[in-house]
Chain A
Amino acid sequence: EDQVTQSPEALRLQEGESSSLNCSYTVSGLRGLFWYRQDPGKGPEFLFTLYSAGEEKEKERLKATLTKKESFLHITAPKPEDSATYLCAVQAGGNDMRFGAGTRLTVKP
């Protein structure tokens, strides 16, 4: 069965303190690995899709990378507005998307 595990569960950073979030997955026939951001009281907001090992995507202070077993979301010099829950999800043979439990990121000024 497809599995997605995210770590850490929660991460507290000082403004400007760079770090990485991890997403480990086991899936047959990966069609895409997705990163989403979720703010309190809102639905998940799409950030990136990665399709194959070695691929990287960037958006502002965020950079997502993919290997055959895991993905990292690197956050460079984070700001308080980056505080949110970051969700990883995988899509395999079917069209359903399996989500990890998320990493709750808090960035203190």
Chain B
Amino acid sequence: DTAVSQTPKYLVTQMGNDKSIKCEQNLGHDTMYWYKQDSKKFLKIMFSYNNKELIINETVPNRFSPKSPDKAHLNLHINSLELGDSAVYFCASSRAPGTGGSPLHFGNGTRLTVT
């Protein structure tokens, strides 16, 4: 029943490690996103994919690499983790751009803690 699911829910790791977060949506949407929510609860877009193609890539360190094997999945791989990467990462999906203001549907987030 879950529309947008991401795993794991919690991720605790040490500096310098490499980790991945997985996301899947069963809404039939063409567009998927990764957002980062910092300690002040501010949501900022990182990436957007439409039909497996990257369409938005905000100023994010290249240690972050999204991968979309198909339009229902968008994974986030992070290399050489740093303390400042600690945050909650949200996956979201929507209908394709050009459909006039499509709302996002969010997963429940992955809380990443880097020690």
Contact B101 A49 (CB under 8 A): yes
Majority DSSP secondary structure for residues of A touching B: strand
Q: Which residues of chain B have C-beta atoms less than 8 A from A94's C-beta? A: 55-56, 97
Give the residue among B4, B43, B56, B90 with the most A Cβ atoms within 10 A: B43
CA distance A72 to B41 in the complex (A): 20
* Interface size grouping (class) on chain B: 20 to 34
Q: Which residues of chain A have C-beta atoms less than 8 A from B92's C-beta? A: 43
Q: Which residues of chain B have C-beta atoms less than 8 A from A89's C-beta? A: 43, 104
Which of B65-73, B74-82, B105-113 contacts the other chain? B105-113
Given A32-B103, A95-B56, A99-B42, 7 other A-B contacts at CB below 8 A? Answer: A43-B107, A44-B90, A87-B43, A89-B104, A95-B98, A96-B45, A96-B56
A residues apposed to B, CB below 8 Å: 31-32, 34, 38, 41-46, 49, 51, 85, 87, 89, 91, 94-99, 101-102, 104
Q: Sorted from nearest, which 6 A-B pairs have the closest CB atoms?
A: A32-B101, A95-B97, A43-B106, A99-B43, A46-B103, A31-B101
